[in-house]
Chains A and B, each alone.
Chain A
Amino acid sequence: MEPAASRPALLRAASPWISYAAVAAVAVALLGYVVLPLLATFREGVRGPHGLTAEQYRAFFSLAHPANLESLRTSLWISILSVLTCGTVGVTLAFLLNRIEFPGRRALEIVSLVPLALPPLIGVYTFVFLYAESGIVPRGLQAIFHLHAAPFALRGLVGVVVVHTFTMYPYFYLAAAAALAGLDPSLEEAAGNLGAGRWHVWTRVILPLLTPALVAGSLLVFMVSMASYTAPLIFGVDRTMTMQIYISRTNGDLTLASVQATILSAVSIGFLVAMRWYQGRRIYRSLSKGTAAARAEVRHPMARALVVSAAALLVLILIAPILVLVLISFSKDATWTVQVLPPVYTLQNYTRLVTDRQTWLPIRNSLDMSTLSTLGDVLLGVAAAYVIARLAIRGKGLLDIAVMLPWALPGTVVGINLITAFNQPSVFSLGRILVGTFWILPLAYFVRGLPLVFRSTSATMAQLDPALEEAAANLGASWWYAFRRVTLPLIGRGVLAGALLAFAQGVGEFVASILIYTPASRPLSVAIYNELYSFQFGTAAAYGVFQVLIVLVVLTIVRGPSRNGTLPMG
């Protein structure tokens, strides 16, 4: 069989020139908009007055100026803390919801995913409104108990970690819940039947089976925490890698920003590689399909009361950010100063959104730019998924890495990469300078959204039996006919899900936007940031509600945020 069977069977089924055109288009686009920008940033960092130099890197690691090393350390520290807190919260919640029955369990299960619906900037700001120095909760407690000062206030590093915990615990929760749901209860029964006590069952059966979920969650939370920019920005923690990059850039020191971005990229890519490697070797899968384990009911009245009030408190904490966002969106701009709650309410913020051209403009900009970038993502993401799943070509692994690279890169780094690549004319920008034009932001959204479309499409593609395309060809269908009538209808759901997620991410994008937006096409998140800075809380919150609504609609259509519905945070 050997010589004949080693020929790529499916390359034959596809029309050859279409295959080559698709591979070429995917390779060129990834090279031009992902790989070369990354290298441009690296080159910027080693460029000296007389050729190449490692001077900048020496300076970064020099102990004489500890700012850089300190920010690297702080970033790592925040990430480790975030992994620990997210892990604790996520896994505990997964166990409670999967193993214990109590009144309000369903409600808690539904709202447990609310953090996924919060765009990065809005997520952080609602925490400021709720729990910071002048937040509703500390001031409310102060007023109720007649205290001299607020009893607590969220700020600094603690603030960052708390926000991370809230926004990222779902990564652990979803992974652990899926693992627990897939855990065949007969395994536990078998262990018990063989004489294992409760402790043994836990340490020898359940925890080992949860390990893949825990490792995957840890790597993801660590990566996203390293990339986190909004939380340190708002809570004023300047000494993190992302903040340093932003500060260097705004100070006009692109070279230093490039060095910092390259080092941060190295850490992130390291984690991407670790994650791929780990997913490749995971073996702990339950062989039998689990039926849901029976949940233990809480019966003792005292325990029941305790559990119910704890669940109610959790539900409240989880939906508080959305409630406060909606509340503030009805408050009159610049009236909320020292009061516990905004004192004056109005519908004006919403009417102005649609009637005032100036207010409508950022929404319009974001919708336009996200639509453009999503179209690009669909074209390239579907082509890449198809090429990687169906064609037997050399260097497929490289394509796979290149297309997932933007997923691992912090938004800040994506921004810097695009600046260093397109602040001069390039073949890939048709000989124009893109920095400072309308096109730079759609390009950034395109790069950041690509992995979402790719991953979602690949997942459905993997379930598509190649024999279906062969059957179509066998019945006389050309490649294009088979692709249109068989492949596309069957992967359509995955493409749509990925496209919607990419679109929602574009509308909520803040991290790369703040670095490279141009005043002429100011996006929604930057507008929110500006409004908040000038105490126009009502308008900002109304914008925020709009963003949240888009994400909610998307998540509802995509259905099952448990599958692919995780938006990278920023």
Chain B
Amino acid sequence: MHDADLVVAPGEFFTLLGPSGCGKTTILRMLAGFILPSAGRILFGEQDVTRVPPNRRGTAMVFQNYALFPHLSVFENVAFGLRIRRVSAADLRRRVGEALAQVRLTHLEGRRIDQLSGGQQQRVALARALVVQPNVLLLDEPLSNLDAKLREETRAEIRRIQTAAGITTVYVTHDQAEAMAISDRVAVMSSGQIHQIGTPPEVYYRPATRFVAEFIGKTNLVEGTLVAASGGSGTVDAGDGLRLEVPLDGRPGPGPAAGAQVLLSIRPEAFRVAAPGETRNVFAGTVRRYEFGGAYTEYTIAGGGRDWTVWLPREGLDAYAAGITLRLAVAQVYVVA
């Protein structure tokens, strides 16, 4: 784990996003108190909890495999934390009932855990965590064991409940689409390092590093030399006769100076077929192959000495066939570094 500095706002839905082994689960387990950081501190509000044992932290975690107690019923699983807190019988009954109602499992409170489906188990785990009214809700890849359709439904459900309860939430996932959909802010990580912290649109449109640009969505990365820079924009020579005008404002830190090597990110949806006579940021390319993707068709287009991934809307049943040459205009470029 390299140096990492994270501040999560009260009530925020904050996501740690990265490939497996990047350290996101380690951070979550440090927050829960299962792992001691070798250096640094953890604060909940003003309180330093770095040395507080897990059972006195007041966090509630939803584990990747749910970790439901197999010897207890649904009701008793949810009641577990309340019994430790010595909540009175009437209160306990009421709060467990509310928590189960919140995840829509009231009718299953007497069931054994092994009689539940994966999605139901997931909701019991969520209810068990919410019912203790934690300071922080920790979710460790809670959707990874569900099938695709259920995953989207549950995702929306988690967000709905979290917003209603206003609980500060830290969420761990390796699925960037999931992170984009659910989070207020995202920290993108790899190999124990935080690359960028920002809102989903920020990390999508303004990736701070090559890793973020590649990891979030699809993109075309272009290396080139900044040959001219003035005011808010500059010109990049990407080799093979490809010259692109790029914006230099709207990014953090000092802009690169003329002569610097730069990395450009061009998203597949940033292309369009150039109008006749249009010349700014336009190049010619030949379609090599394409795949139908529903809302758009993904083309692989050779031009300017490289292959581009390009999404173009499709009109009717026809696509641009392999071998056809197109003039493409780049509508949006971001200078990563």
Contact = CB atoms under 8 A, between A and B. Distances in A.
Interface of A: 1-5, 7, 9-10, 12-13, 15, 465, 467-468, 470-479, 481, 485-486, 489-490
Contact of B29 (A9, A15, A465, A486): A9
10 nearest A-B residue pairs (beta carbon):
A475-B81, A467-B67, A471-B67, A473-B54, A476-B84, A4-B1, A473-B55, A1-B23, A474-B61, A3-B38
B192 to A, nearest CB: 5
Contacts of A471: 61, 63, 67-69, 128
Nearest to B22: A1
Contacts of B56: 476
Contact of B36 (A10, A12, A481): A12
B9 interface: no
Interface in B110-150: 128-129, 132
A463 to B, nearest CB: 10
Contacts of B38: 3-4, 7
B157 to A, nearest CB: 21
B1 A468 contact: no
B292 to A, nearest CB: 36
Contacts of A465: 65, 67
Contacts of A477: 55, 80, 84
Contacts of B53: 12-13, 15, 473
B59 interface: yes
A111 B54 CA distance: 52
A474 B69 contact: no
Contacts of B61: 470-471, 474
Interface in B32-53: 32-38, 53
A495 to B, nearest CB: 14
B107 interface: no
Contact of A476 (B1, B64, B85): B85
Interface in B61-89: 61, 63-65, 67-71, 80-81, 84-85
Interface of A is mostly: helix
A470 B65 contact: no
6 contacts: A2-B192, A4-B38, A473-B55, A475-B80, A476-B84, A481-B84
Contacts of A467: 63-65, 67
B132 A490 contact: no
Nearest to B34: A9
B55 A474 contact: yes
Nearest to A470: B34
Interface in B209-240: none
A10 B29 CA distance: 11
Nearest to A472: B80
The interface centre, meaning the residue of A473, A477, A479, A481 with most chain B CB atoms within 10 A of its CB, is A473
Contacts of A13: 34, 53-54
Contacts of B1: 1-5
A67 to B, nearest CB: 58
Nearest to B27: A4
B85 A4 contact: no
A4 B37 contact: yes
Contacts of B65: 465, 467
B261 interface: no
Interface of B is mostly: loop
B203 interface: no
Nearest to A8: B35
B182 interface: no
A473 B58 CA distance: 10
A490 B67 CA distance: 13
A58 B301 CA distance: 86
B196 interface: no
B69 A1 contact: no
The interface centre, meaning the residue of B1, B68, B80 with most chain A CB atoms within 10 A of its CB, is B80
B60 A474 contact: yes
A393 B58 CA distance: 28
B30 interface: yes
Contact of A474 (B30, B37, B54, B85): B54
B35 A1 contact: no
A471 to B, nearest CB: 4
B36 A478 contact: no
Contacts of B85: 476
The interface centre, meaning the residue of A10, A467, A486 with most chain B CB atoms within 10 A of its CB, is A467
A158 B151 CA distance: 68
B281 interface: no
Nearest to B57: A474
A477 B57 CA distance: 11
A475 B37 contact: no
Interface in B15-31: 21-23, 26, 29-30
B127 to A, nearest CB: 12
Contacts of B67: 465, 467-468, 470-471
B81 A476 contact: yes
A3 B69 CA distance: 31
Contacts of B132: 475-476
B55 A478 contact: yes
B59 A4 contact: no
A12 B84 contact: no
Given A12-B54, A471-B63, A1 B192 contact: yes
Contacts of A479: 55
Given A473-B54, A475-B81, 13 more contacts: A1-B21, A1-B22, A1-B23, A4-B35, A4-B38, A5-B1, A5-B35, A467-B65, A472-B80, A473-B34, A475-B128, A477-B80, A479-B55
A475 B30 contact: no
A285 B112 CA distance: 32
Nearest to A476: B84
A475 B129 CA distance: 7
A476 B36 CA distance: 18
Nearest to A6: B38
A555 to B, nearest CB: 25
B21 A12 contact: no
Contact of B35 (A9, A472, A476, A490): A9
A186 to B, nearest CB: 27
B79 to A, nearest CB: 10
Contacts of B128: 471, 475
Contacts of B37: 4
A465 B113 CA distance: 15
A137 B129 CA distance: 70
Nearest to B59: A474
A2 B81 CA distance: 32
B55 A476 contact: yes
A468 to B, nearest CB: 5
Contacts of B54: 12-13, 470, 473-474
B134 to A, nearest CB: 9
Given A5-B35, A7-B35, A12-B34, A475 B84 contact: yes
A55 B67 CA distance: 61
Contacts of B192: 1-2
